[in-house]
Amino acid sequence: MKKTLICGGLVVTKDTIGKYDISIVGEQIEALKIHGEFSAADFDEVIDANDLIVMPGLVEPHVHFDAPFMGGKTDHDMLTGTKACAYGGITSVISFSNQGKGESLVQNVKDWDKNNSGRAYVDWSMHGLIYDASELSLHDIPELIKLGIPTYKCFTTYRHSQRLMDDDSMLKVLKTTKENGGMLMVHCEHDATCEYLKEKAITEGHTEWIYHAKTRPARAEDMAIQRVVDLMRTENAPVYIVHASTADSVRIIAQAQTDGLPIHAETCTHYMLLTDKMLERDDGYLWVCSPPLRQAHDLERLWNAAKMGPIEVVSSDDAGLPSQMRRDLCEGRFDKVPNGMPGVEPRLTMLYSKGVREHHIDLQKMVALTSTNPAKLFGLKNKGCLAPGADADICLFDPNIEWTMTASTLHMNTTFCPFEGERVVGKAKTVLCRGEVVLRDYELVGSPAHGQRVFRELEY
C-alpha cells in the first residue's frame, strides 16, 4: 500500500495543537510523530505542510443535494455538491432523502445508493425525512438504522406541504427512535404562528422580502424548540435541533441539557454572519431561508453558544436554488420564494476568517464544530480525528492566503454567493479523503469514483 507523509504543518485537533508529522498507509493514518522524527525516504509521497494548518477533514452534516422544494430543485446534486465540498475542505457530507409523503424511505435510500455510485468526490451518507407516524414511517425507522442511516428529520412547520409533524406523531417517532438507537433531527418553527402572520401580512398588502423574517419571528422558533423539549420529557430520545438561529433558542437548549435531556444543536454559517438587513435589499429574495436571518444581538449569542455551548456543530444547510428560478417562482412575493442558500464551500473560510481571526473561537474549537463533533454525533466512527487507525481524511488549510469571496471565485454550482464581495483570509489548499488526494494546491484532482457511502452507527 502507498505510504504518504504529511510533514511540517501545525496539526490542530479538538484536543491537540502542535508541530507533528502524519504517516499514512493506504487509506488510514498510521502514526503521528513530532516533526522531523519520520524519515522522508521511507515514503512514496511527501506532502509539505509548512506554513499550513493540518486538521481532520471537515464533516458537513446538513445539506440538501438534488432536493425538490417549492417548485424548484436545489443547485447541487451529489457530483457538483461533493466537488464543492472538496474545495471547502470537506471529506464527509450527509444529505437528506427526498421521498414524497407516503413513499418508502428505505427504498429511497436504496435508490440513492444506486444512482450516486461513481458520483462523489468525497465520502457521503444521508439522513431520512419523516413526515408522520404512519405504520410505514415507524416501520422504516429500524430498517433505516440497519442500513447505517440512524438519523432522520421531521418538521414542526410546512403544514401546507404536508410536512408538519403533530405532537401525537412526534411522541410515537421519539419512542421508536429511543427503542432502536436513532436520533431525531427537528426543524423548529411554530407553524400556526408563521401561517397566521403570513396571511395577516399579505392581507395588509405587505409582500416585500423582509416580511419573510417578520412573519417567521424568533419567538416562533423558540416556541417550537420548547415544545420539542417538553415532548422529550415524555419520550426521552436523542434529538438534534437543526439550524438554531435565535438568542433564546440556545438558552432553551442549554437548560434542557442541564436538566439531563439528550438534546444537541447546530447553527449555520449564515446565521452567525448575516442579519435580516439582507432582506431589505432589492434582491433580498436571494437571502430567504427558513428560519430567516436574524438580528445582530442573535449573532453575538450564537458565537458565544458555539464557543461555550450548547451549539456543538456549525453546518451550511446548503440548499440554494438557481437565482433565475427563484426569481421566476416567487412572483415578487416573500411567501413564494423557494427557501435556502448555497454555502457548502464557504463554511471553513468564513469560520476561520470571521471566527478565529476575530477571536470569537479558536482553532481547536473550529475543528470541533466542523469535524470532530459532527463525526461523533452522527456516527462517523473513523472520521473527524487524526488518530492512528482513523481514515486519512485530512485538510491542509492555508491560513495566510487573502482573497475576495464571490460566486466566481468559488466552485459551487451557482451564480450566487451569500457572502459576495467579502474580503477573507484562508482557504483549503490540499485535501485527502481516505488517503487519496482530492484537492492539490487549490485544484481538484480527485475522481468522483472515490467517494463511498459511509455506514453510520450512533454511540448513544
Cβ atoms of 186 and 154 within 8 Å: the answer is yes
Cα–Cα dist 368/365, whole Å: 5
**Bridge partners, 192 (sequence order):** none
Closest C-alpha among 304, 314, 320, 407 to residue 352: 314
Closest C-alpha among 269, 240, 267, 261 to residue 424: 269
Consecutive 10-residue averages of pLDDT for the chain (460 residues): 98 96 98 97 98 98 92 93 98 94 90 94 97 94 97 95 93 98 98 98 98 98 98 98 98 98 98 98 97 97 98 97 93 95 98 98 98 98 97 98 98 98 98 98 98 94
In a 13 Å sphere around the CA of 159, the CA atoms on its Cβ side amount to: 9
Per DSSP, the residues of 310-333 read: SEEEEE--B----HHHHHHHHTT-
Which pLDDT value is given to residue 425?
98
Cβ atoms of 14 and 368 within 8 Å: the answer is yes
Bin 39: left if φ > 0, else alpha if -120 < ψ < 50, else beta: beta
| φ, ψ dihedrals at 275, nearest 5° | -120, 175
Cα–Cα dist 355/55, whole Å: 16
DSSP state of 345: T
| φ, ψ dihedrals at 62, nearest 5° | -150, 90
Closest C-alpha among 120, 2, 117, 7 to residue 394: 7
Q: What single-letter amino acid sits at 391?
A: D
In sequence order, what E strands does 230-310 have? Answer: 239-241, 263-268
| φ, ψ dihedrals at 200, nearest 5° | -65, -45
Cβ atoms of 81 and 337 within 8 Å: the answer is no
Query: Which domains does the chain carry?
Result: 3-55+391-399+414-444 (2.30.40.10), 57-377 (3.20.20.140)
Which pLDDT value is given to residue 68?
86
Cβ atoms of 93 and 344 within 8 Å: the answer is yes
> What is the pTM assigned to this prediction?
0.97
